[in-house]
Amino acid sequence: MIVATAVENQPMSAKAITTQDAPAPVGPYNQAVLAGEWLYCSGQIPLDPATGEMVGNGDVAAETHQVLKNLCAVLKEAGATPAQVVRTTVFLADLGDFATVNGIYAEVFGEGVSPARACVQVAALPKGARVEIDCVAWLGS
């Protein structure tokens, strides 16, 4: 049996994580928020952080590489690595791209304990992207 215990009035601290090595948010959100020992990374699409332009011209492999590069830049800024990611969500404009995205995803998250994950097809993604990925990482010891 699992027994939960209450934590007495410990205030939760939240810190915005921002890096120029990932695209700037296009709305009222942060690239990531560090809350206690948990890092919540917003979804990344294949934008070049230097230009703000889409990468890949519809090539899902090129897009996935850029998405993961952006996500890893946010993790790094927070002092985290892909090995600390415990949960991801992969959003695809076409589930037919699953095998391609999955192979590239495994290059980043395939070692050790891979994160829990959901993968869903969506009607559309921002700027016509074919893939978006968000994640949650644990920075505790």
Q: Which residues pair with 44 in a beta bridge?
A: 133
Catalytic residues, by residue number, are: 119
| Helical axes 98-109 vs 60-77, angle rounded to 10° | 30
Which of 65, 55, 32 minimizes the C-alpha distance to 136?
32
Cα separation of the two ends of the chain: 25
Map residue 51 onto helix, strand or coil. Answer: coil
Residue that is written with structure tokens 């890949």 in the block:
56
